[in-house]
Structure 1
């Protein structure tokens, strides 16, 4: 392993050493995603087959730095076992992921001192999910970081809100 690592370092510059592996910057997102066996780079990271800068690891979850960070300290938290999205996730695994996200959020607050923090989860192509292995983005927020809110902050129609709540709660069918 050490010999292989030295050989890779001699071949060219790498971004860094991750979990004992030399990591070369991918040319683009498609190249990065192709590194995962069975099409899932996050499964490859969880198995240790693909390098990552790990910030938290336990039996059920893994948290590592996002290679396409929105802000300084942007991390991803994943379950070690593959789940496509939130609809494929059981409650126990969701609890483990949220616990890990909380641990990572505290580490970020204590070390990077952001002004705030967002937890973000995208499900489905319409919601801009790009990697179909459930994950939560832990995004530190800093003053003037230029990240925008994707929606206008206006009050909704109370009757419509109540009607949708009834539909979600099963009190009536969607029209």
Structure 2
């Protein structure tokens, strides 16, 4: 068995490479702190990834000592790439977060040899930001760099990370079970309501049954909405554990941080999304087909059940007149 690094993540494919448990990896360099290897789909021939032994999710969790070791290894690999392939240029790329195309939550540096007309092409887009926006961004960064910087969070313990995921998974399972229970509660309610409406020709009872279906649909949709929120939290804790406070079960930590200058309409949308299930939830296979079918049945019974005949007017008692003597 290979060396097991501190803060090793058993589910991380790069940690498997560090442990020397990936038989297919094309490893080119290793020391006590870093490993360098070819990705499975290189952008160019010679494209190399450099990773630390420790499981560090991204640059915001990187400490200075590991950063120095990683930088030194990156320079060494860059020199090796230059010697082996004689490229016309070189990209050193380090991505953080899914928005920046990071697909494996283990810090890694891409060393990519470049040639004119190679498959990568021009990686920088042309933009036309107004001068005032660029000046504002420059001032914000100056203030951030001039003040106290947010320290890098401590590495997440592997056991704590695993336990955190177990807690979230337990909530996901509970939400799924609650959804099944809600459906089980609804069946006897609508069976009684629709059956009574048919037998007794009581249209109002059929309408009450439809209202019960809609009420249970709202309840179940909220269960599903919560389940999806906790699944997002699970994904974030898996990929970016430092982003969520340790053992936090608040799904809001999985959402993007709202900008300070968000307009009132964006805040309103965010409020509605928080309390009302979205379109994707209502149209999911566990909500729309199930509750939609029972709603249609109830409305069918309502429209095809004859209205009760009007009650006859009350009869007036016969009046007797006394015969005068």
TM-score (norm: length of structure 1)? 0.71
CA distance in 1, matches of 2:65, 2:134: 30
Q: 2:111 aligns with which of 138, 147, 154?
A: 138
Deviations along 1:119-162, whole A, 9 cap, x unmatched? 11111111111111000111111222131234334564443223
Unaligned segments of structure 2, at least 5 residues: 3-7, 148-259, 262-325
Counterpart in the other structure of 1:43: 15
**Contact conserved, 2:49 with 2:111, CA < 8 A, in 1?**
yes
Matched, 1:88 2:61: yes
Matched, 1:64 2:51: no
Counterpart in the other structure of 2:88: 115
1:97 partner SS:
helix
Task: Point out the structure with max Rg over C-alpha.
Answer: 2
**Contact conserved, 2:43 with 2:112, CA < 8 A, in 1?**
yes
Counterpart in the other structure of 2:74: 101
Counterpart in the other structure of 1:170: 143
Q: 2:26 aligns with which of 53, 69, 82?
A: 53
Q: 1:37: how far off?
A: 6.5
Counterpart in the other structure of 1:13: none
**Contact conserved, 2:43 with 2:119, CA < 8 A, in 1?**
no
Counterpart in the other structure of 1:11: none
CA distance in 1, matches of 2:44, 2:118: 7
CA distance in 1, matches of 2:26, 2:71: 20
**Contact conserved, 1:56 with 1:100, CA < 8 A, in 2?**
no
Query: Comparing both structures, which one devotes a greater share of its residues to helix?
Result: 2
**Contact conserved, 1:61 with 1:100, CA < 8 A, in 2?**
yes
- Report the count of equivalent residues: 142
Query: Comparing both structures, which one devotes a greater share of its residues to strand?
Result: 1
CA distance in 1, matches of 2:34, 2:90: 20
Matched, 1:75 2:48: yes
Deviations along 1:27-58, whole A, 9 cap, x unmatched? xxxxxxxxx97320101111112232222212
Unaligned segments of structure 1, at least 5 residues: 2-18, 20-35
CA distance in 2, matches of 1:84, 1:37: 10
